[in-house]
């Protein structure tokens, strides 16, 4: 297990994706708002999502220089998307949001964790 990412590029890609996702959640674009509704995520909590996603991006970038921070952030992102998948399963939402968005992000996060920190 590496305390700093090696290689760094997958971590930067995931940080960029997370930052973009955070921006899309500030005033949720239509497909994200619909996803939140489909899994019954309360609208009063939507404001939290951009902060969580921005913190993930910041943690990944800072983790390039701060030992273990990138690793911990990567693990947290995997857990986040396991929970997102569970929300979709609980809501029986097996459409595009489940298979493309949540599963795709889960696989990307697992890949980054494995490729940059665990192998």
Residue ranges covered by each domain of the chain: 9-118
SS3 86: helix
Task: State the SS3 of 11-50.
Answer: HHHHHHHHHHHHHHHHCCCHHHHHHHHHCCCCHHHCCHHH
Residue from 63, 65, 88 nearest 74 by CA? 63
Q: Is this model's pTM higher than 0.85 or not?
A: yes
The string of pLDDT tens digits covering residues 49-76 is: 999 999 999 999 999 999 999 999 999 9
Whether the pLDDT of residue 99 is over 90: the answer is no
Longest dimension (CA), the chain: 41
Q: What pLDDT, on a 0 to 100 scale, did the predictor assign at position 97?
A: 81
């Amino acid at each position: 297990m590496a305390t700093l990412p090696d290689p760094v590029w997958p971590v930067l890609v995931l940080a960029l994706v997370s930052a973009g996702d955070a921006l899309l959640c500030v005033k949720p674009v239509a497909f994200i708002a619909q996803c939140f509704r489909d899994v019954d995520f309360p609208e009063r909590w939507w404001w939290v999502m951009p902060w969580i996603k921005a913190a993930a991006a910041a943690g990944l970038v800072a983790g390039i220089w701060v030992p273990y921070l990138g690793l911990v952030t990567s693990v947290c992102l995997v857990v986040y998307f396991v929970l997102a998948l569970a929300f979709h399963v609980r809501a029986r939402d097996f459409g595009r949001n489940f298979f493309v968005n949540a599963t795709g992000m889960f696989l990307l996060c697992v890949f980054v964790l494995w490729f940059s920190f665990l192998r």
